[in-house]
Structure 1
Amino acid sequence: MDTLGISGYPDRLSVQPGESVKIMVSTKSPSFRATMVRVVHGDADPRGPGIKEQVVESDVNKEYPGRYQTLPVGSYVTVPDHGALRPDGSFTITAWIAPTTVPGSKLNPVAYRRTPAGTGAVQGIVTKWSEKEQAGYGMFVDQDGGLGLRLADRSGRAHTVSSGVKLKPWAPALRGVEPGGVVRPQHVNSSGWYFAAVSYDAGTGKVGLYQYPLTGHPNDSEAVVTRTIEARGLKNAAAPLLIAAYQGGQDRPAGFYNGKIDAPRVYDRALDEQEIRALRRGGPAERAVAAFDFSQKMDTDQVVDTSRNRLHGRAVNLPVRAVTGHNWQADEQDFKLAPKQYGAMYFHDDDLGDAAWEPGFTWKVPADARSGVYAAKLEAGGNVYHATFVVRPKHGKPASKVALLVPTFSYLAYGMTGGLTSGMSQYSRHSDGSGVVYSSHLRPLTNLRPYASGPRGESRPWQFEADTHITDWLESTGHTVDYITDHDLHREGTKLLDDYKVVITGSHPEYTSEPMLDALQSWLNDGGRLMYLGGNGFYWVTPLDRTGAYTELRRHDGTEAWQGAPGEHYHSTTGEYGGLWRFRGRPPQQLVGVGFTAQGFGSRLGTGTYSRPLDRSPQSHDPRAAWVFDGVKATGPIGDFDSLQSQGGPMGEELDRADYALGTADNTIVLGSGTGFGDEYLFVKEENNTANLMEGGTVNWLVRGDVTLTRYPRGGAVFSASSISWAGSLFYNNYDNDIATITENVLDAFAADRPLPGAG
């Protein structure tokens, strides 16, 4: 984040006139300037209209003192300090653990490169230790990769004991075949579980460390260490009990653990080896002062203590829940049907939920504010950052019969891509190689802003920047449009859509929830008209948590950035099955007539031709469809000019096709297709049952993009552009081109209070 000079985020992605939005800001500069703007176009590519923003007069437009705020990455569980967690001296800690970043282990290629033997950071497992006080006790992964015990005796002297035997990590990723061995996040190894225990007898100074692999083969790293140390009594710490971390020197969690933890327990006495072996065999947690069951309340951040003390805790920074535990039998895939086999939580040292920054200022949206994309434009030391959000119309008071559905779920999925070390997107891989499941809006989203592709648009516009190709076309051609978000639609459903005759999508609305699909389907059946101006939409099952702060993904069986683990394909937030909507029986073709079929990427400004023009179909001359092409000048390929998205035409990057077997309606007319792609365009993985040589665009006829028109009952309809590059083609010749003409024809006809041309 420091490379940006200044960054920030709003506390809400959608706000109404009259409501307030807090803007969180971080900069090392002594001061910064804020200006509220309405963003019309956010792509700085000099071939296009450039950055276009309208200043909003406000008393918050001024200088503010700068404040540097960091991102508190690392997930853990915190339990408030309590007398029951301050034993008189003796204690025992037990837990099932599956570490993933054991220092120096070659079993995890990511961890091995990151933490060579002897230099790895100590990782807290279950700790009541304060580095600042040099007091307390805890169980750790030590810097050499073995099980560790740390305590302070009554004199305040600190003691550290290690098992001396390196733990073997669970490997959540494989080395890939790409140059440099890029990691493939695929969970394949389940033999990394250990029953771990440490004990201390404060009367004798005897300590015990017990490191039992769940399976003896191929894991030979069992260790039992007992010895007497020069310690008596225990100096307790005022720190909270932390799981997957310990309290660092600045009274903040540190030493974050990577991997799974299951059934952590604390006892206020020293258990002997026989008792510990009984617990390993599944014995009850009798007389434990704390016994945490992560299988309860998995859709929340609450952590339940089942002991008599009820020392409930809170999960911080979104550790992954609804993951398989040490006792998963592989006979059940749905955690709801076997919750006791899902008693683990998966922690990462780079998880982030809520950055929890202090606000720089608060803006109250004027009562007469026009709906649109807004941002707090933040400037410091010659750097600019836009903290972006949407001003929607007031409930029940639309200003237009046309709405732009801003794909905020997709913005969250991609929100931290681009190589900035400022957090994770749902395309990222954690430091241990596993994929990122959750994405929160309570942090800077570096892609959700103008200039995200560079000060001169040097890289490919994606998501937000690409969507401003649509917003500028709407504004420049005089269309009044309301702006609503995925979050609004998820919460309000058809009640929100019923205000509109037409809804327009963004360029890549890939991530959608069940309530969103239900609302769109119902609205279309009731006469709504949808303009799907993108490609690869309505693809991934994407629930929103109950607080509305973060989305969740369980990727599998799709064209994907990572692959979820066996037994972990159900979402913790809602309990629903994840993956592609097509494998839930709701392929995109059923909703919009087309679905994802191919993708290909090249240099945005390179010499290759990566996108293609549109070839009109014979069916498009049918009176039911011919009106779409009114005013089109081309007699051959349509849109044979560069898109701001990529070279070559409007059909490119990610493409959809009609397929009647997958649910395309019988009345759907394929207006035209983009074909003739090279082998840099590949057929989607989910339709490829075997490895073969028929994946590229030169040999596979399914590598194409179909522009379609589908009619729904009661005058409803869907126009599908079926290409991410479509929106980037609108601007050519200052919006005087055939792609803009087609899109304008559809919008005018869809917005009219009459049947579509050729109907009946």
Structure 2
Amino acid sequence: MPLPSGRTTTQNVFGYTDRFSARPGEQLSFHISCAGPPTYDAALVRLRHGYDGQAGPGFLEAEVPSTIDGTYPGQYYACQPGSYVEVPDPNGLLANPDALVIRAAVFPTLPRDNRSGSLGAYRVSQSSVGFTGERQAVMGTWDEATMTGWALLLDDGKPSFVWSEGGQRRTLTLEQELTAHQWYRLEVELPRSAGQITLRQTPLEHCADRVSPAASAAVPEQANATASAVWTASSMPFRIGALARADGDRLLAATAFNGKIGGIRIERATADASTAREPVAAWHFGRSRRPDGLLLWDVADEGPHALHGRCTNAPVRGVTGPEFQGVVEDFRLVPDEFDGENELLGDFGIIGGGAAGSEIDCWNPALGSPPGTLILATSGPFSDSYLLVTEEIFEMLPGMGGTEQPAVRSDMVYCALEGGGGFFSVGSIAWTGSLSHNGYDNNIARITGNVLRRFRDEKPLE
């Protein structure tokens, strides 16, 4: 895209800083990856307006001369998205699926994930992450490059088991696509010798929504396939929530799962009796082996072989599982009271049509809003498209939408802090989309200007 400076931007150059901000005199490190271009230009700019659609004044920036200006050699660095648990398996107990009985509960949130496209004012692309939702791994060792190993996964939303016989890919896939935000139990039973592989899924009732299986017409399903039991193991590690793919000398995440996984139990049928099974592993994502009980990187295996796992890229821990019995939720929150001028602010803008149209936040002392914070203005009402974020609730229970939940709102706040400093928060990222309305002649732009001028003043805030 051509810029007023004469430079151009390209989606083949990606980068980020090691921190979000820095004070005068501090340093920021820039990490740049070039997918194709041998060089890239760098310049320091003051961004005035980032939206280039017809509703605004276009992309506006001003260059600020600095020592970073120049052309630099480009290099490609592979992106490493996808969170997962990797389990060291020194004795190869999980490498060969011979006679394994595998159980897991899954709660897919994007069973047929495709996040590319435009979402309002946001442009989303999966090109930089290297995988789509066509396949999403629950667990396994499958190596797509060598067609070896095995995996339990979703294939275009359908439960599927993939394995290798003599270096050839074999799959067993169910007919039903899983419904998003519904718990299912997945089970795989594998033969010790040549015989039948069984794959089944069972919809599970959940305390937050007892009617979901019936409402979505979800019914149990089972499928069978004949296997020779001549398994071909892979050299990839066993992972939960993603598989591994080689990128030079590194192993990156592949076919990452979107949703929740829990209740994983793996057993192996014994040789002397077809009905007898011995436990192999049983991971519990809500328990910690640490003395302080924190859920950090380690995942405890409660099975006899202590196949403890290690988290990569910080998957969310301790979320509600299929056995969750519910908690008491008090929705009788008292709306905040405030004194101020009765003026309608920001009923215009290019992001959602208003200054509080996206990614809203509100005053809440329980989440860290300090004493003495003044609520200058509040927004609402919002539709049920706006919900409390998952960090603030245990489960998506009824009453979390904007028409019922008073905590779903955007607050404009100000607070003077000890020492003369302070903060001003607008409560929504959409505030920036209202600045340019009517040629910057509007109350949002005036408030922003007043705040910036006051904060630049050396006098202590009061």
**TM-score (normalised: structure 1):** 0.40
Contact 1:265 / 1:292 at 8 angstroms: preserved in 2?
Answer: yes
Contact 2:14 / 2:33 at 8 angstroms: preserved in 1?
Answer: yes
Residue 725 of structure 1 corresponds to which residue in structure 2? Answer: 445
Q: 1:224 aligns with which of 216, 222, 225?
A: 222
Deviations 1:72-106 (A, max 9, x none): 444433334532323483322210123344569xx
SS class of match (1:237) = coil
C-alpha displacement at 1:5, in angstroms?
Answer: 4.6
Matched, 1:21 2:28: yes
C-alpha displacement at 1:199, in angstroms?
Answer: 2.0
Matched, 1:96 2:109: no
Distance 1:23 1:85 in 2: 41
Distance 1:150 1:599 in 2: 44
Residue 244 of structure 1 corresponds to which residue in structure 2? Answer: 241
Q: 1:152 aligns with which of 159, 164, 170?
A: 164
Residue 178 of structure 1 corresponds to which residue in structure 2? Answer: none
Deviations 1:319-378 (A, max 9, x none): 4444331122234569xxxxxxxxxxxxxxxxxxxxxxxxxxxxxxxxxxxxxxxxxxxx
Letter paired with 1:160: T
Residue 543 of structure 1 corresponds to which residue in structure 2? Answer: none
Deviations 1:419-469 (A, max 9, x none): xxxxxxxxxxxxxxxxxxxxxxxxxxxxxxxxxxxxxxxx9599xxx9xxx
Distance 2:184 2:405 in 1: 36
Structure 2, unaligned runs of 5 or more: 2-8, 114-118, 120-131, 206-212, 289-293, 331-348, 417-423
Change (3 A) 1:509 1:304: same
Deviations 1:21-55 (A, max 9, x none): 321112332112334x4x5563489999x644432
C-alpha displacement at 1:18, in angstroms?
Answer: 7.0
Contact 1:211 / 1:223 at 8 angstroms: preserved in 2?
Answer: yes
Distance 1:226 1:293 in 2: 29
Contact 1:96 / 1:264 at 8 angstroms: preserved in 2?
Answer: yes
Contact 1:205 / 1:228 at 8 angstroms: preserved in 2?
Answer: yes
Change (3 A) 1:268 1:17: farther
Contact 1:650 / 1:726 at 8 angstroms: preserved in 2?
Answer: yes
Contact 2:412 / 2:427 at 8 angstroms: preserved in 1?
Answer: no
Matched, 1:42 2:38: no
Contact 1:165 / 1:222 at 8 angstroms: preserved in 2?
Answer: no
Residue 39 of structure 2 corresponds to which residue in structure 1? Answer: 31
Residue 620 of structure 1 corresponds to which residue in structure 2? Answer: none
Contact 1:199 / 1:270 at 8 angstroms: preserved in 2?
Answer: no
Structure 1, unaligned runs of 5 or more: 105-109, 111-118, 172-191, 276-285, 335-458, 467-507, 525-529, 540-556, 605-642, 652-723, 731-739
Question: Which protein has the larger Cα radius of gyration, Structure 1 or Structure 2?
Answer: 1
Deviations 1:375-418 (A, max 9, x none): xxxxxxxxxxxxxxxxxxxxxxxxxxxxxxxxxxxxxxxxxxxx
Q: Aligned-pair RMSD on alpha carbons?
A: 5.4
Distance 1:328 1:100 in 2: 17
Contact 2:283 / 2:300 at 8 angstroms: preserved in 1?
Answer: yes
SS class of match (2:445) = helix
Written as runs of structure 1 = structure 2, the 5 A alignment for 1:191-340 is: 192-215=182-205, 217=214, 219=217, 221-232=219-230, 234-248=231-245, 252-269=252-269, 287-296=278-287, 300-332=296-328
Q: 1:132 aligns with which of 142, 145, 162?
A: 145
Change (3 A) 1:253 1:230: same
Distance 1:21 1:602 in 2: 24
Distance 1:235 1:262 in 2: 27
Matched, 1:570 2:393: yes
Distance 2:50 2:431 in 1: 20
Distance 1:535 1:209 in 2: 56
Distance 1:646 1:314 in 2: 54
SS class of match (2:160) = strand
Letter paired with 1:312: H
Of stretches 206-215 and 219-228 in structure 1, the one that deviates more from structure 2 is 219-228
Change (3 A) 1:34 1:647: closer
Distance 1:151 1:160 in 2: 6
Contact 1:289 / 1:308 at 8 angstroms: preserved in 2?
Answer: yes
Letter paired with 2:445: S
Residue 8 of structure 1 corresponds to which residue in structure 2? Answer: 15
Distance 1:571 1:85 in 2: 33
Deviations 1:244-266 (A, max 9, x none): 33334755432233332211233
Structure 1 vs Structure 2: percent identity of aligned residues? 23
Distance 2:135 2:262 in 1: 19
Matched, 1:56 2:54: no
SS class of match (2:142) = strand
Contact 1:101 / 1:258 at 8 angstroms: preserved in 2?
Answer: yes
Contact 1:32 / 1:63 at 8 angstroms: preserved in 2?
Answer: yes
Matched, 1:76 2:67: no
Distance 1:142 1:743 in 2: 52
Change (3 A) 1:511 1:147: same
Letter paired with 1:92: V
Deviations 1:256-314 (A, max 9, x none): 33332211233344799978xxxxxxxxxx95332221223575354332223333334
C-alpha displacement at 1:513, in angstroms?
Answer: 8.2
C-alpha displacement at 1:140, in angstroms?
Answer: 2.1
C-alpha displacement at 1:198, in angstroms?
Answer: 0.8
C-alpha displacement at 1:62, in angstroms?
Answer: 4.0
SS class of match (1:323) = coil
C-alpha displacement at 1:650, in angstroms?
Answer: 3.7
Distance 2:169 2:322 in 1: 32
C-alpha displacement at 1:169, in angstroms?
Answer: 0.9
Letter paired with 2:37: S
Change (3 A) 1:647 1:304: farther
SS class of match (1:726) = helix
Distance 2:46 2:148 in 1: 56
Residue 420 of structure 2 corresponds to which residue in structure 1? Answer: none
Distance 1:41 1:225 in 2: 57
